[in-house]
Amino acid sequence: MAQIIDGKLVSKKILENLSDEILFLEKKPSLTVIIVGEDPASKIYVNLKKKKAQELGIHSNVIEMPESVSQKELLDKIEELNNDDSVNAVLVQLPLPKHIDTKAVIEKINPIKDVDCFHPYNMGQIATNGKPYVYPCTPKGIIRLLEYYDIPIEGKNAVVIGRSNIVGRPVAQMLLNQNATVTICHSKTKNLDAIVKNADIIISAVGQKNLIKADMVKDGAVVIDVGMNRADDGKLCGDVDFYNVEKKAAFITPVPGGVGPMTICSLMQNTFDLYKIQNGS
Amino acid sequence: MAQIIDGKLVSKKILENLSDEILFLEKKPSLTVIIVGEDPASKIYVNLKKKKAQELGIHSNVIEMPESVSQKELLDKIEELNNDDSVNAVLVQLPLPKHIDTKAVIEKINPIKDVDCFHPYNMGQIATNGKPYVYPCTPKGIIRLLEYYDIPIEGKNAVVIGRSNIVGRPVAQMLLNQNATVTICHSKTKNLDAIVKNADIIISAVGQKNLIKADMVKDGAVVIDVGMNRADDGKLCGDVDFYNVEKKAAFITPVPGGVGPMTICSLMQNTFDLYKIQNGS
């Protein structure tokens, strides 16, 4: 029976500490989120971010732009925020409408305010074991969970399934930077089962339910499920066949309640970290 | 018996084509190399680069700075080159003296002139499967060799041993971007033998002779040796026990004459690519 990695608990503790630190600040950290269009899921996420920021005493501002906004207007708005000293952290909620060049938008954000850590400069720092201003939220959350439960990383075989820029690629780099032997798998990988069977640490960030089955998991493995899917009964589930994998793993994250809460927690930490960097500490 | 991957041949062909293209240009591409101090190996490499550039019709300028140069002077010189429209490509020969912050120097080079592709911005582009201005020289050379010999990458198990910013990390990313399943190993990896034994493509960039032995290599594997070591008899050798591994591999790079010639070839290609970008093509 695996020990459950409780992301709700860990994020709660981190945010309580963060709240205490922010309480004593005269000038509060400030996060601005740009949302383009009316995508319902995006609206939910943005509201969540705004609400969490407010709970912690972080100033949050949401700028709503219509679906039809031009790329130039969006880039100009980001430039304005780059130059606004009262704004510490900027993010643009993805996805963006198809007429917008997402990479150009990501690159417009000044890396020192890039709270999502999507800018190639910050990603390049991670890829070279350097010093990004902050770390990408979900990978940062994953590493924090491993640390909280004293799960060793050095020398371990870590298998990351999924190579998105948001999760798979950066978490692989961050595990490598902590001396794991890292394998990155994806849709073109052959023999996924055999590769995962050798893993000490499995990070699945694919978005496919029941991808990770018990016969793919070695006894005592650590299983981190980043997937967010709908099960047949409509409930939220991850990539992992939790019920069966739990019997073999040493540690496992549930969905929901595992990695998910850590992502927004990291966003708040990142906002505070950027505030501190910009205010000279 | 493995087919020998002949880096001398491949680089010769590439450079012949490059020379022809440059011949017809009125304004020639221009590369500036900064060398600090008197390190003999660095001097040899810089002279090689200068000579190769001249053979191809590329303007090359070598700026020699004393070992005692201050970081400020070095950064100011780079800034000067950044602003000099007659200079397309800039590199600073490494290693630098200990009093210099190498990362700060690397980051000072404008990414659009970063011919070595060390700048975090360019590394971040590679790490996110984006568009760096150019690719790092040795990894680019390795990929070029695989392509020249029609060696498939997609779906293959590629094991990279070594995680330097110059070779291991970027070549791993570039193989991933071409849909290999990539494993990155290093000094803290356990069970290296077993991991390498599963590899379809082995890239060894460690600097340790006889690291890769025949019993670690599966029949038909592709073996790319980036190592540069001295054998007991004083001759140059790689990381691979060539004599024995050659009997099992399908393809193998010799040392010297494999990856080495491709590195400087890539540098020349990169210089031309930056020239073209800066001149609007």
Q: Which of A121, A127, A163 sits opposite B169 (nearest CB)?
A: A127
Q: What is the pLDDT of residues A195-235, one digit of tens each?
A: 999 999 999 999 999 999 999 999 999 999 999 999 889 99
Q: Where are the domains of chain B?
A: 28-110, 137-260
The three-point CA angle B131-B182-B242 to 5° equals 110
Q: What is the pLDDT of residue A223?
A: 98
The three-point CA angle A122-A123-A128 to 5° equals 100
Q: Which of A123, A188, A195 sits opposite B155 (nearest CB)?
A: A188
Strand ranges for chain B from DSSP E: 3-4, 30-36, 59-65, 89-92, 157-161, 181-185, 201-204, 222-225, 229-230, 236-237, 251-252
* Residue of B161, B169, B175, B184 to mutate, testing the A interface (most A Cβ within 10 Å of its Cβ): B184
Q: What is the pLDDT of residues B61-110, one digit of tens each?
A: 999 999 999 999 999 999 999 999 999 999 999 999 999 999 999 999 99
A49 among known catalytic residues = yes
CA distance A131 to A127: 10
Q: What is the pLDDT of residues A6-54, one digit of tens each?
A: 999 999 999 999 999 999 999 999 999 999 999 999 999 999 999 999 9
Catalytic residue among A77, A108, A113, A116: A116
Q: What is the pLDDT of residues B100-114, one digit of tens each?
A: 999 999 999 999 999
**8 Å CB contact between B83 and B73:** no
A185·B181 Cβ contact <8 A: yes
Q: What is the pLDDT of residue A1?
A: 86
Residues of A in contact with B103 (CB under 8 A): 130
- Mean pLDDT for A87-114 is 97
User: Is the ipTM value over 0.90, yes or no?
Assistant: yes
A123·B119 Cβ contact <8 A: no
Is the pLDDT confidence value at B183 over 90? yes
- CATH superfamily of domain region B28-110: Leucine Dehydrogenase, chain A, domain 1 (3.40.50.10860)
Place of tokens 């680089």: B11
CATH number of B137-260: 3.40.50.720
CA distance A114 to A274: 8
Residues of A in contact with B134 (CB under 8 A): none
Q: Which of B128, B155, B184 sits opposite A176 (nearest CB)?
A: B184
Q: Which of B120, B181, B185 sits opposite A124 (nearest CB)?
A: B120
DSSP A240: B
Q: What is the pLDDT of residues A159-185, one digit of tens each?
A: 999 999 999 999 999 999 999 999 999
CA of residue B74 relative to chain centroid, distance? 24
CA distance B163 to chain A (A): 9
Q: Which of B128, B155, B190 sits opposite A165 (nearest CB)?
A: B128
Is the pLDDT confidence value at A281 over 90? no
pLDDT tier, B281 (very low <50, low <70, confident <90, very high otherwise): confident
- CA-nearest residue to A162 within chain B is B181
Residues of B in contact with A182 (CB under 8 A): 183-184
- Mean pLDDT for B17-29 is 96
**8 Å CB contact between B88 and B240:** no
Q: What is the pLDDT of residues A106-123, one digit of tens each?
A: 999 999 999 999 999 999
Average pLDDT in chain B: 97
B49 among known catalytic residues = yes
Q: What is the pLDDT of residue A240?
A: 97
Q: What is the pLDDT of residue B47?
A: 96
Asked whether the domain spanning A137-260 has the same topology as the one spanning A28-110, the reply is: yes
Backbone angles phi, psi at A185, to 5 degrees: -110, 165
A165·B129 Cβ contact <8 A: yes
Residues of A in contact with B101 (CB under 8 A): none
B150 among known catalytic residues = no
Kindly report the pTM of this predicted structure. Answer: 0.96
Is the pLDDT confidence value at B185 over 90? yes
What residues form DSSP beta bridges with B158?
B182, B201
Residue A242, amino acid: F
Q: What is the pLDDT of residue B1?
A: 86
Place of tokens 């990070």: A203
CA distance A124 to chain B (A): 3
Q: What is the pLDDT of residues B189-215, one digit of tens each?
A: 999 999 999 999 999 999 999 999 999
Is the pLDDT confidence value at A280 over 90? no
CA distance B128 to A59: 31
Q: What is the pLDDT of residues B114-146, one digit of tens each?
A: 999 999 999 999 999 999 999 999 999 999 999
Q: What percent of chain B has pLDDT over 90?
A: 98
Catalytic residue among B49, B52, B156, B209: B49
Q: What is the pLDDT of residues B26-57, one digit of tens each?
A: 999 999 999 999 999 999 999 999 999 999 99
A130·B119 Cβ contact <8 A: no
What residues form DSSP beta bridges with B203?
B160, B224
**8 Å CB contact between B114 and B90:** yes
Buried b (16+ CB within 10 A) or exposed e, A27-51: ebbbbbbbbbbebeebeebbeebbe
Q: Give which of A9, A5, A7, A22 is closest to A268, Cα–Cα.
A: A22
A120·B124 Cβ contact <8 A: yes
Which strand (E) or helix (H) includes residue A60?
strand A59-65
Catalytic residue among B93, B125, B173, B269: B93
A127·B122 Cβ contact <8 A: no
